[in-house]
Structure 1
Amino acid sequence: MKPTVKSAAAFIVNAWQNCNGEAAYQRYLEHWRRQHASEGQPLSRKAFFAAETQRKWNGIKRCC
């Protein structure tokens, strides 16, 4: 592939991962490996997204 096709494909993959949350899970795994690896197993993908959904939507989400 030409460099411009490769960079366009990488951009599309990166954009897709940011849109569907995959990038957040990958960041979580990297953080877990650096900070918490001795504490057991990381959350599964399903458990991670369930926890993120709870974090985002539970509690007060308004200013007043």
Structure 2
Amino acid sequence: MLSGLLRVLRSVRWYVRELTDESAYDRYVTHVRTAHPDALVPSRREFERERTERQESDPRQGFRCC
């Protein structure tokens, strides 16, 4: 019974992280470490800042009034 509950909680946690894109940094770190092993991995704060700037600079992203 306890193992079933833990499995459900893990599934819910995974779903929420994917839904909110919280796992994007984890995927990025995995990608950098496998594809570019000598590259420095940015901190989560730097990653989020760059991601936000990239999204705001793209007119197809975000909300537009017109």
- TM range, smaller chain: 0.7 to 0.9
**Does residue 33 of the first structure (1) align with residue 33 of the second (2)?**
yes
Partner of residue 44, structure 1: 43
> Residue in 2 aligned with 1:23?
23
Query: RMSD in angstroms over aligned alpha carbons?
Result: 2.0
Query: What's the secondary structure of 2:27's corresponding residue?
Result: helix
Query: Could you say which structure has the higher helix fraction?
Result: 1
Q: How many Å apart are 1:59 and its aligned residue? A: 2.5
Runs of 4+ aligned structure 1 residues displaced above 4 Å come to: none
Confirm whether residue 54 of structure 1 aligns to residue 53 of structure 2.
yes
Equivalent-residue separation in structure 2 for 1:16 and 1:2 (angstroms) = 21
Identity over the aligned pairs, expressed in percent? 23
Name the TM-score, length of structure 1 as normaliser: 0.74
Relative contact order higher in (CA < 8 Å, ≥ 6 apart)? 1
Give unpaired runs (5+ residues) of structure 1: none
